[in-house]
């Protein structure tokens, strides 16, 4: 299993490699796109404001440095869909990233774009983004028609579902899963909202939602009202965990938030190829801390330490067992 780290600029590369990153992914939003669509229409699944590079020349330099370090670089072209007007522009960018910059893979969601990139037979491989909502084996097999070398599974899948997919297709394509940081209240591939820098994400504001209850018909019993209010409180708590426990961190600076560390022994046994640390837009310190934490546990799994020992170590890094015990912070429920 490799640790896939987010990167936003060349200055982050050395520290992330030293911390244990095996491969990298980033986004780029060229001037041409911003001139046509402004920052309100995203080229990839992150805002161009502070979450990626802003020109192809900078990306080429980053790619050269990544290759010099013996690592690979993947670039996101993973908008959920592109219009007929946008497709030629995105296709040209993909060709430029592959043939001129030498990126190792393009991360894609839109099937139309995926088909066109496949037909172009570029140097860069294709990775299917989690935004494509590849939820089962048949979805993976359909996408194999476009020749991807890797499929990134959505964060909503349970361990047994990942195991089933890996058993069926891991000989044909690499499987990547989420490891640390971002959660989502919805299935990302079916979500029509955005995380715009000036208005925030619709899903992150749900924990602040105010609600009252009206009952049309017989008067609501006090027992039912208590049940509804408790349900809403649980929902707010879940949203809080999905969004990084209020963006908190341990006393040592390790970030809280959705986590798959305890499941790594199982994921390795399934044949998962890569573990995604989320956070292209995160601060360099958060990226560094996340990769260090991932590397600590991955190293133990690679050394075949006992599963329970690995889980105990992962929980100790979190430092506050009540967060782990709540169950809300887990991408993958161990034993579920």
Locate CATH 3.20.20.70 in the chain.
Answer: 2-183+243-326
Residues 6 or more apart whose CB falls under 8 angstroms from that of 143 comprise 111, 114, 128, 132, 134, 151
How far apart are alpha carbons 105 and 108 in whole angstroms? 9
List, in order, residues 6 or more apart from 270 with CB less than 8 Å away.
162, 163, 166, 167, 170, 175
In whole angstroms, what is the distance from residue 322 CA to residue 310 CA?
18
Structure tokens at 111: 């099937």
CATH class, 2-183+243-326 region: alpha beta
Can you give the pLDDT of all 336 residues of the chain as single tens digits? 999 999 999 999 999 999 999 999 999 999 999 889 877 788 888 877 778 898 999 999 999 999 999 999 999 999 988 999 999 999 999 999 999 999 999 999 999 999 999 999 999 999 999 999 999 999 999 999 999 999 999 998 999 999 999 999 999 999 999 999 888 777 888 876 666 555 556 666 666 767 666 666 677 788 888 888 888 888 888 888 887 777 678 878 888 888 999 999 999 999 999 999 998 988 899 999 999 999 999 999 999 999 999 999 999 998 888 888 888 889 987 544
Q: Report the residue count for the chain.
A: 336
Count CB atoms within 10 A of the CB of residue 42. 21
* Residues contacting residue 59 through CB under 8 Å, at least 6 positions apart: 26, 28, 53, 75, 97, 101, 103
Residue closest to 247 by CA, chosen among 214, 276, 285, 212: 285
Half-sphere exposure of 21 (CA within 13 A, CB side): 28
> What is the value of pTM for the model shown?
0.90
């Amino acid at each position: 299993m490799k640790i896939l780290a987010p990167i936003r600029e060349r200055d982050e590369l050395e520290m992330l490699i030293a911390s244990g990153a095996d491969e990298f992914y980033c986004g780029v939003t060229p001037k041409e796109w911003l001139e046509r669509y402004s920052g309100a229409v995203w080229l990839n699944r992150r805002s161009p404001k502070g979450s990626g590079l802003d020109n192809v020349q900078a990306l080429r330099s980053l790619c050269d440095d990544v290759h010099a370090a013996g690592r690979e670089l993947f670039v996101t072209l993973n908008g959920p869909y592109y219009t007929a007007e946008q497709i030629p522009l995105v296709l040209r960018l993909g060709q430029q990233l592959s043939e001129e910059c030498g990126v190792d893979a393009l991360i894609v969601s839109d099937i139309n774009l995926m088909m066109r990139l496949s037909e172009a037979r570029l140097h860069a491989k294709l990775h299917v983004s989690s935004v494509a909502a590849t939820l089962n084996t048949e979805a993976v097999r359909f996408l194999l028609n476009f020749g991807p070398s890797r499929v990134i599974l959505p964060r909503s899948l349970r361990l047994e579902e990942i195991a089933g997919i890996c058993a069926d297709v891991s000989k044909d394509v690499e499987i990547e899963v989420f490891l640390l940081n971002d959660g989502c209240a919805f299935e990302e591939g079916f979500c029509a909202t955005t995380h715009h820098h000036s208005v925030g994400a619709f899903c992150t504001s749900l924990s602040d939602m105010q609600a009252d209850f009206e009952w049309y018909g017989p008067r609501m019993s006090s027992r039912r009202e208590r049940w509804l209010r408790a349900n809403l409180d649980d929902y707010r708590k879940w949203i809080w965990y999905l969004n990084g426990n209020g963006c908190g961190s341990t006393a040592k600076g390790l970030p809280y938030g959705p986590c798959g560390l305890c499941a790594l022994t199982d994921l390795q046994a399934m044949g998962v190829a890569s573990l995604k640390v989320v956070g292209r837009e995160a601060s360099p310190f958060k990226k560094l801390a996340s990769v260090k934490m991932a590397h600590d546990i991955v190293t133990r799994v690679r050394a075949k330490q006992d599963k329970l020992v690995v889980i105990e170590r992962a929980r100790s890094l979190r430092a506050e067992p009540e967060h782990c015990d709540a169950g809300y912070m887990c991408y993958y429920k161990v034993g579920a």
